[in-house]
Amino acid sequence: MLFNSFQYWIFFLIVLALFYSVPFRVGKVLLLCASYVFYMWWDPRFIVLILTSTIVDYWLGILLESASGRRKKLLLVVSLVVNLGILGFFKYYNFFAGSLATLLHLPQSSVILQIILPVGISFYTFASLSYTIDVYWGKMKAVRNFIDYAFFIAFFPHLIAGPIIRGRQFISQIQNWRRPATVVVQSGIVLILSGLLKKIVFADRFAIVSDKYFGDLGGHPGWLSAWSGCVAFALQVFFDFSGYTDIARGCAKLLGFEFPLNFARPALSRNPPDLWQRWHITLSLWLRDYLFMPLSRRRRGRFALYRNLILVMVLVGLWHGANWTFVLWGAYHGVLLLSHRVFDRATAGTLLSEVMRKRLFVPFSVALMFLCYAVSVAFFRASTLQDSAFILRGMFGFHHVTGNFLFTTGTVVLFFISLFLAVAQERNQFIDRLALAPARVQIPAYVCVFLTLELFPVTDQVPFVYFQF
Amino acid sequence: MTDNFSTNRPFLCGEASIETSPRSKILYGLLLLAICVGACFAPPSAKGEIAQPSGTANATDHVKRAPSINATPERVTVGVEPGRSEIRWDTGDGSVGFVYVSTNGEKRTLFATGPTGRATAPWIKRASYLFELYRDVEQRTLLAAVTISGVSALKVSPKASLKVSPLTTLWQNNAQWLLAAVALVVLYFAVYFSTPGEMRTGFPAEPSTSPRQLHVVRNLLLGLVVFACVDGAIFHTELYTSILAPDSFAGRMAILTRAEKERVSSGLKEVLVVGDSRVAEGFSATAADKLGSEGGFKFVSLAEPASSIDIWYYMLREIDPTARRYSAIVIPYGYGYNRRRGQLLKIPMAAPLLRYSDCFDFTSSFEEWSDRFRAFTACILRGSALQSDVIDLFEHPAVRAESIRSEHKRILARAAYKGRADDIAGTSYDPNTGQITFPSRLTETQREAIKGSLQEPSQSESEQLIALQRQWIRRILKRYSNSPTAIVLVPTPRGPFGRFSRTSMAYQTFFSGMTMDKPILSLPEHTFDFLEAPEYYFDGYHVNAKGRQKFTETVVAELVKQLKPANSAHFASDPEQF
């Protein structure tokens, strides 16, 4: 049941109607059941995993709250082992076993298992882990109501592809639920429409360009083809994931819940740290709070900092998928962050630094950062390291041919439209303000959106990119 | 019922003439304005001779086109430096095509390949270049061709030079680099204005309070109502229909019906022939006119590839609102088309003919719920059925304008169409072993079509097909129940090996026990059995020029015989009675 399917919207409208027709304590149970149905739609077997994770962390949370000293640590370790064990087995077993087999010159078939990756496992595992770690650190109290906890883990809008929510933000919303204000409902509708536009008009159309390139790399040599393909995928993945998040947040708002912001115009990032403040914000913050900060507290010093930076980014890559291409993708971003930090330190107080801070220079920084991001696509989208190498060689002119400009007129127009929408949103929250706009603005905006959704969608249903993570 | 993708597809039988209406001129002006805007965003073409298959192939898959090849410009001014022209081609059905070029009639060389695309020929000199689009690398099946003439700058007449638009000239003078520079400047200022200067450290959340009272449901509903009205104003009127891609199924249907509506009555006894590609290939209105002129008959063919009986109904409703325009309407019946494909094409094809009130009737022609939903939506929001066409218009406004401009050429070509000269004689089929032997000259497409035509429809397919024909024949008869127009049912020839088919073309197989609102006339089951031989076909479904002549002669002879006033009294609800 994809967010861009008719099925989902029938499901959502039924759930919405039922939810508001019963008291919240009943509605909560109903939403939980609906969430499990939503999850089982893909594969009913994997409900066992989500239930295991939920039950274990619920009890561990209660035990952690009252425990102290070594026992407390042990309980946390149990939580980590259970959650990361499930994640590791289903997502990474074949990757590590396969890599080890290659290293030891063993046949792959002797170690590889037929494992299906449960959808959304990376997202709900991180949500669950954030809860036990927060309880361990004493940042929140353990939840005593199992339904509340299960609801936090399984609430369907975030279950499959985030945003990664945290117990301390979300459980209080369950406990103090109120009917959403009119402006919140309005904002939810705007988010849903914006998400649908991003997904089925923008992302899926850029996907046509990127699929053309990545689907036949050998048939598209040359720097122009490589850059077209990679830029198209960079735009696709942003609109795809950001569109999903908008729909998730919009649906949550209509049901009276708030999800954190996950994207803030990442294409307008000026430098690598800025990118990670704008791109998949909930994952960046999760890793900062639960991995980078604890690591940094253990050992200080510049070298340790750089090492931690690279380590965290490699893990970010690995979180995205069990493949060496993702590891390199993470490492590449780690190197970008590190280089930026070194460069920043080296040029601090110099004329260059002053010039770079000028507003006139900002577009150049943004362009450079976008191109750096487009390069990372060579790792992110390619299936093998050989493919990545081919793309990179193409991008940097080693194919010795020009290649083809793969963008069509329509996708170029879309690119400019998306740019202007991003600029308008960045400057004065143009899209958010639509929720507050008077009818004379809102109605034409709705008409434009409906017409765009009617006339310009990509009719073949394309799955969300982040479902595979 | 069988879709036909042959090269010289008849476009509009009969001698109908189309005048550009004042409204069309205004629309045309608007279209030109769109072209100017579109041209500003046109992507720069690849340098040199590198072929550039278009990325719109996937996006426009649903618009089925005739194969085409165009050159812009076709007349290239050559000075000291060679001139250039951009070649665009489209095989129309997504299969790979091969573009060959020959200079002054010399040996052909491969220029580009791909199902659709464009490539620049920057080496045009003072010569004639024939660009031909072939289905196969062996250059056996020619799909389309275009000639580029390189003319000396000194010889270009002032009038001719006026024909080249300033935009084209600008574009040819490497304006793409200027465009790229403009794009970069736009990008620069867009990003410049997006930032206040300082780095952002946080992002504001969506509003949670409002200074004014909000009307969520009211605004949303009003938005939906206005949207439906806008869609209606654009797509349920001539506004968009007049600029549909003439090569698309929807466009062809719109042009056919518009031309027939505007055609002035001949004053003779007019006989309308509807049908799918088999009738389009098989029946020649021009030949029929000659044969039937003595009896005072005038024939009009609106047979259109991939159309089906429900579409004919809507077409008849559109062109014959009083149900009294024709002396007779010839409706073919039978088996033999790719059902699923037909279903997919049906919605965009019917779109220009659908009304809001058709939402339930039209939907009932579909079996799958997803198709029914799409059909329903197409009736209410017609734009949803024309998505591919709209995208195509935005992507290639200049090509669209050009193809609309050359509409009359297609109409003339349709009227002059004489059928395909080639045949499949030499092909043999053994019904016992199922083995088919092809002569070596047949292309893969022909072989596949022959194999496909030999597959008998399944029980359920036959039942569905019969049910569909019964349902819509009944509706057509109801519509003409109080009209003097005779409805003539014609069994379609089953194919080159129809004699081996187990399917019966008997009238009873299709319409037995059906209550008729009007007496009908049906040609005998075996009327066209003599045509079911390979020498009359160019593939598994469609007759060639020879077959076309025979089919037309037989239809006309039978009609003239049956439509004589003396015989009209014999019309019966069960045609087997006479």
Closest among B198, B328, B316, B186 to B261, alpha carbons compared: B316
B-interface mutation test, from A169, A183, A213, most B Cβ less than 10 A away: A183
User: DSSP assignment, residue B127?
Assistant: S
Range with lowest mean pLDDT among A219-223, A335-339, A442-446, B507-511: B507-511
Inter-chain CB proximity A189 and B384 less than 8 Å:
no
Closest among A168, A179, A162, A327 to A245, alpha carbons compared: A162
pLDDT of residue B432: 84
Inter-chain CB proximity B206 and A404 less than 8 Å:
no
Residues of chain A positioned with their CB less than 8 A from the CB of B114: none
Residues of chain B positioned with their CB less than 8 A from the CB of A232: none
Q: What is the pLDDT of residues B393-418, one digit of tens each?
A: 888 888 888 888 887 777 777 788 88
Assess contact for A293 and A277: CB atoms under 8 A.
no
Sign for the pseudo-dihedral over CA of A38, A44, A46, A50 = positive
- Phi then psi dihedrals of residue B572, to 5 deg: -135, 160
Q: What is the average pLDDT score of chain B?
A: 75
pLDDT of residue B93: 77
Closest among B316, B275, B267 to B293, alpha carbons compared: B267
**And the tokens for B217?**
């449901």
* The residue type at B210: S
User: In angstroms, how far apart are the furthest CA atoms of chain A?
Assistant: 69
Q: What is the pLDDT of residues A71-91, one digit of tens each?
A: 888 999 999 999 899 888 888
Whether pLDDT at B87 is above 80: yes
Mean pLDDT of A304-316: 89
| B86: helix, strand or coil | strand
Name the burial class of residue B493, with classes exposed (0-12), middle (13-18) and buried (19+) by CB atoms within 10 angstroms of its CB. buried
The pLDDT-based confidence of B333 (bands split at 50, 70, 90) is confident
Residues of chain A positioned with their CB less than 8 A from the CB of B118: none
Residues of chain B positioned with their CB less than 8 A from the CB of A447: 223, 226-227, 230
**And the tokens for B160?**
């001719």
- CA B60 – CA B45 distance, rounded (Å): 20
Mean pLDDT of B442-468: 80
- CA B411 – CA B409 distance, rounded (Å): 5
Q: Higher model confidence: residue B310 or residue B35?
A: B310
- CA A157 – CA A173 distance, rounded (Å): 15
- Please name the residues between 384 and 443 in chain B that touch chain A, using a CB distance below 8 Å: 384, 386-387, 390-391, 394-396
Catalytic position from the list A158, A220, A320, A333 = A320
> What residue in B sits closest to A361 (Cα-Cα)?
B192
**And the tokens for A311?**
């380590």
- CA B113 – CA B134 distance, rounded (Å): 9
**And the tokens for B533?**
């031989």
State the number of CA atoms in the 13 A half-sphere of B437 facing the CB. Answer: 4
Inter-chain CB proximity A450 and B227 less than 8 Å:
yes
- Please name the residues between 62 and 91 in chain B that touch chain A, using a CB distance below 8 Å: 62
Residue ranges of domains in chain B, CATH in brackets: 28-167 (2.60.40.10), 245-425+458-577 (3.40.50.1110)
User: DSSP assignment, residue A138?
Assistant: T
Number of alpha helices (DSSP H) and beta strands (DSSP E) in chain B = 21, 16
Assess contact for B266 and B534: CB atoms under 8 A.
no
Whether pLDDT at B569 is above 50: no
- CA B532 – CA A55 distance, rounded (Å): 73
Whether pLDDT at B46 is above 50: no
**Length of chain A as a residue count:** 469
Query: Which of B42, B208, B381 lies at the smallest CB-CB distance from A181?
Result: B208
User: DSSP assignment, residue B69?
Assistant: E
The pLDDT-based confidence of B155 (bands split at 50, 70, 90) is very low
Percent of chain B with pLDDT over 70: 76
> Residue A378 to residues A213, A233, A382, A388: CA-CA distances in angstroms?
11, 10, 6, 5
Query: Which of A183, A358, A459 lies at the smallest CB-CB distance from B210?
Result: A183
DSSP string over A309-349 = HHHHHHHHHHHH-SSHHHHHHHHHHHHHHHHHHHHHHHHTT
- CA B347 – CA B372 distance, rounded (Å): 10
Assess contact for B380 and B359: CB atoms under 8 A.
yes
pLDDT of residue A450: 92
Mean pLDDT of B43-72: 45
Query: Which of A183, A186, A362 lies at the smallest CB-CB distance from B192?
Result: A362
pLDDT of residue A234: 92
Residues of chain A positioned with their CB less than 8 A from the CB of B223: 442-443, 445-447, 450
Min distance A47 CA to chain B CA atoms (Å):
29
Min distance B295 CA to chain A CA atoms (Å):
50
**And the tokens for A81?**
């082992």
> What residue in A sits closest to B205 (Cα-Cα)?
A261
- CA B348 – CA B342 distance, rounded (Å): 11
Closest among A177, A248, A230, A214 to A12, alpha carbons compared: A248
Closest among B247, B262, B284 to B17, alpha carbons compared: B262
Whether pLDDT at A331 is above 90: yes
Q: What is the pLDDT of residues B93-122, one digit of tens each?
A: 777 788 888 887 677 777 887 788 878 787
pLDDT of residue B21: 46
- CA A374 – CA B506 distance, rounded (Å): 65
> Residue B235 to residues A311, B63, B150, B254: CA-CA distances in angstroms?
57, 17, 42, 12
Whether pLDDT at B80 is above 70: no
pLDDT of residue B527: 84
pLDDT of residue B338: 53
List B101's β-bridge partners, or say none.
B109, B131
B-interface mutation test, from A187, A402, A415, A454, most B Cβ less than 10 A away: A454
- Please name the residues between 119 and 148 in chain B that touch chain A, using a CB distance below 8 Å: none
User: DSSP assignment, residue A280?
Assistant: S
pLDDT of residue B468: 82
Inter-chain CB proximity B195 and A362 less than 8 Å:
yes
Domain coordinates in residue numbering, chain A: 6-177, 183-468
Query: Which of A191, A367, A409 lies at the smallest CB-CB distance from B38?
Result: A409
Closest among A368, A391, A413 to A224, alpha carbons compared: A391
Within an 8 Å CB–CB cutoff, is residue B188 touching chain A? yes
* Cis status, amide bond into A163, omega within 30 of 0: yes
- Phi then psi dihedrals of residue B486, to 5 deg: -85, 140
User: DSSP assignment, residue B173?
Assistant: I
Q: Is A320 a catalytic residue?
A: yes
Assess contact for B571 and B521: CB atoms under 8 A.
yes
The pLDDT-based confidence of A147 (bands split at 50, 70, 90) is very high
Pairing of strands B116-124, B52-53: antiparallel
**And the tokens for A359?**
């507003």
Closest among A449, A451, A201 to B229, alpha carbons compared: A451
Inter-chain CB proximity A450 and B223 less than 8 Å:
yes
pLDDT of residue B572: 38
The pLDDT-based confidence of A30 (bands split at 50, 70, 90) is very high
Percent of chain B with pLDDT over 90: 9
Mean pLDDT of B20-26: 45
- CA A240 – CA A198 distance, rounded (Å): 7
- CA B457 – CA A199 distance, rounded (Å): 40
Q: Higher model confidence: residue A44 or residue B60?
A: A44
* The residue type at B169: T
pLDDT of residue B223: 92
Mean pLDDT of A424-453: 86
Assess contact for B171 and B40: CB atoms under 8 A.
no
- CA A138 – CA A130 distance, rounded (Å): 12
Assess contact for A385 and A329: CB atoms under 8 A.
no
Range with lowest mean pLDDT among A327-331, B221-225, B255-259, B340-344: B340-344
A-interface mutation test, from B206, B382, B384, most A Cβ less than 10 A away: B206
Closest among A47, A114, A128, A44 to A85, alpha carbons compared: A128
| B186: helix, strand or coil | helix
Element (H, E) at B437: strand B435-437
Q: What is the average pLDDT score of chain A?
A: 87
Residues of chain A positioned with their CB less than 8 A from the CB of B379: none
Q: What is the pLDDT of residues B519-541, one digit of tens each?
A: 788 888 788 888 888 999 988 88
Whether pLDDT at B315 is above 90: yes
Q: What was the ipTM of the complex prediction?
A: 0.79
pLDDT of residue A222: 83
